[in-house]
Amino acid sequence: MRHLLCAAMGLALAGNALEAAENQVIRISTNHTDLVLQVAENGRLYQTYLGEKLLHESDLKELDWAVHAASDGSVCKRGWEVYSGSGNEDFFEPALAVTHNDGNASTWLYYVSSSMKEVEGGTQTDIVLRDDAYPVEVTLHYVAYPEEDVIKTWSEIVHQEKKPVYLSAYASTMLYFNRGSYYLTEFTGDWAKEAQMSTGQLQPGKKIVDTKLGSRAAMHASPFFMVGLDQPASENQGDVLMGTLGWTGNFRFTFEVDNVGNLRVIPAINPYASVYPLERGEVFATPEFVFTYSTEGTGQGSRNLQNWMRKYQLKNGTGDRMTLLNNWENTAFNFNQELLAELMREAKDLGVDLFLLDDGWFGNKYPRKDDKAGLGDWEATQDKLPGGVPALIESAKQAGVKFGIWIEPEMVNPKSELFEKHPDWAIHYPNRERYYYRNQLVLDLSNPEVQDYVCGVVDKLMKENPELAYFKWDCNSPITNIYSPYLKERQGRLYIDHVRGVYNVMKRVHANYPDVTMMLCSGGGARCDYEALKYFDEFWCSDDTDPVERAYIQWGFSHFFPAKAMCAHVTSWNRASSVKFRTDMASMCKLGFDIGLDELSQDELAYCRAAVANWNRLKPAILEGSQYRLVSPYESNHMAVNYVSEDKASAVLFAYDIHPRYQEKLLAVRMQGLDPEKMYLVKEINLMPGVTSSLKANGKVYSGDYLMKVGLDVFGFQQMQSRVIEFVAQ
């Protein structure tokens, strides 16, 4: 009887139209992956398959939407509902929770229609679902990119009830798996220890990875994850789901193993303190969730995402990148116009493209002498920089380099002219003592007037200095003192509308200055989401530039980002390591320097110049080629990564001895991605002046087959040593 009642509810929704849709199959495919959905006889939409692509279309009809539910099956037939609403017969975590005008908190969504259209690089599928008792509609969007084996999905929620409804859950999607075991790899950390990887088996119940920081949101947890199916995620074999949410605010990943051992994965905005009042006719669009399903381990999954990101997501993803010299680690706040001009000449001597002026250049009534004052007052400090930014750009031109500048326009110091004039523009309590992170407050980007102000910071700098070539855009504080003077009684919208305001600013700046290079920074790598990187060319992975720590940080981030998006600088952190080791570590990403050249010996400076030239020459492999992670620092005392150009004519291997044990067993490193039929000349580069290579293979020619099956002995026993080896097809 219960089964009949469940089916009857669906049939009542759409009558004959529903009968026509019954058992309709919707296939969302890439070259190697299938996501298959089916409309059941109850009129609702279920996932029937997610995995390696099925070869025969006829097999799709054999997939059954109903799953074994154990005791839960006593209610009615159960399936993996694609966008499950709260209050229905499913007893586990929903995608959507709505409180309607009459106080009813249940939502049952039924299939209405679906359509497909071609978009750049792939096919978009749109599916409309509707509640049978309330005028609430959800549209599910999927874009499948066949060549890259990537699927992007998001949802849109709208209603026509007379008054606002209240959303307390609003996921981007839901994905399901039926395997023997599941292993979650998460990327967590803090300032100076970003993207630290840890793996654990998911047990019955819920595992939640989330953040409540508002801005600088990824400081403790990164917005991406990996799930190994039947085994922990492995580099070169095994099935793995790799996913990331494009949201620079609070996010939540829910991993729930149910009563029969099935897993549901729910990526979403974190609804913490965000019961959202949705107005009639207003469309609530969730963030995009981007994922790949790999049957060849995380290495192939990473290459899928890196390739897709360069083509379709990252700003200027197929364009060039500039090397640079930053002044922060050299001078901090202590500089003047003459010193900066000298550093620009040093940048030219080093061979980099650009000089980047960091924090400390602005504020007059409250000059930026430290981090306690000046944020918000974006005028050059007269006694420090009497010629202002125009004089600095002129000095850069005379030196023969481009000029970039640091800004943090979303923040304000209470000790600033901006806060004196507009205290209501900052997020802060009206009736409590304020507390501060880094002596600053977050501007309220839910307020359109504040959005205009932030855009105006960039507009003013660009209008006065049209030759500005680069912005480092920082965000050093999470949201504190959590109250919006603008939203007043609508505080449930703050965490969401603030992020929407941030993106609105980013879109406007990008539209006005599409050719200006932008670095995304947040006290290090606490902003690293795919959505923000639509408007930024690259991001700062971490303030920690110790090359040993950077090995782990860069290894972690490389699972989801191409090298050209990941900024890495040579600094004075960890002086126990050589300049060569520090430079070689930075060279596996987007190379930059943040060091006083007067600290370097003549040999070290000559080495750095040569390393910059080599990096520029190897851009086709490092920036545009395929990356292969060969030896993990998590599993050994060494690390190795190689890049191969698209035409397989050139490759480069970065090999690092981090902390080898005394006389430990050393293994040959086997390359990946080469053409087995090609012959490659092996040459060690990035050598200190006067040093000859001790690599036995140096100067010899090997087949790609040999290099991938036998490999080369590149590791040694010394602490913090490195090799960079170039392979050129003959």
Residue 1 has pLDDT above 70, yes or no: no
Q: Where in the chain is the domain with CATH 2.60.40.1180?
A: 627-729
| N-to-C CA span, the chain | 74
Superfamily of domain 324-409+448-475+503-625: Aldolase class I (3.20.20.70)
DSSP for 480-542, please give it. Answer: -S---TTTTT-GGGHHHHHHHHHHHHHHHHHHH-TTSEEEE-BTTBS---TTGGGS-SEEE--
Alpha-carbon gap, residue 325 to 353, rounded angstroms: 8
The 10s digit of each residue's pLDDT in 599-641 is 999 999 999 999 999 999 999 999 999 999 999 999 999 999 9
Alpha-carbon gap, residue 204 to 608, rounded angstroms: 53
The 10s digit of each residue's pLDDT in 181-197 is 999 999 999 999 999 99
Mean predicted confidence (pLDDT) in 417-432: 98
Q: Give, as one character, the DSSP assignment of residue 697.
A: T
Phi-psi region of 131 (alpha: psi -120 to 50; beta: other; left: phi over 0): beta
Q: Where in the chain is the domain with CATH 3.20.20.70?
A: 324-409+448-475+503-625
Give me 681's structure tokens.
Answer: 């000349």
The strand order across the sheet containing 165-170 reads 96-99, 165-170, 276-278
Residue 649 has pLDDT above 70, yes or no: yes
Give me 43's structure tokens.
Answer: 């009129």
Largest CA distance in the chain: 87
Confidence of residue 9 (pLDDT cuts 50, 70, 90): very low
Mean predicted confidence (pLDDT) in 679-700: 98
Beta strands in 120-164 (DSSP E): 122-131, 136-145, 150-159
Give the Å distances, CA to CA, from 225 to 198, 232, 269, 361, 559. 10, 12, 15, 38, 9
Nearest residue to 542 via CA among 568, 507, 560:
568
pLDDT of residue 22: 66
Alpha-carbon gap, residue 48 to 60, rounded angstroms: 9
Residue 13 has pLDDT above 80, yes or no: no
pLDDT of residue 362: 98
pLDDT of residue 565: 98
AA letter at 163: K
AA letter at 537: D
Q: Where in the chain is the domain with CATH 2.70.98.60?
A: 2-70+78-312
Q: pTM for the full model?
A: 0.96
AA letter at 623: L
Q: Give, as one character, the DSSP assignment of residue 183.
A: E
Residue 574 has pLDDT above 90, yes or no: yes
AA letter at 508: R
> 2-70+78-312 maps to which CATH number?
2.70.98.60
Percentage of the chain lying above the pLDDT 90 cut: 96
Residue 11 has pLDDT above 90, yes or no: no
CATH architecture of 627-729: Sandwich (2.60)
pLDDT of residue 489: 95
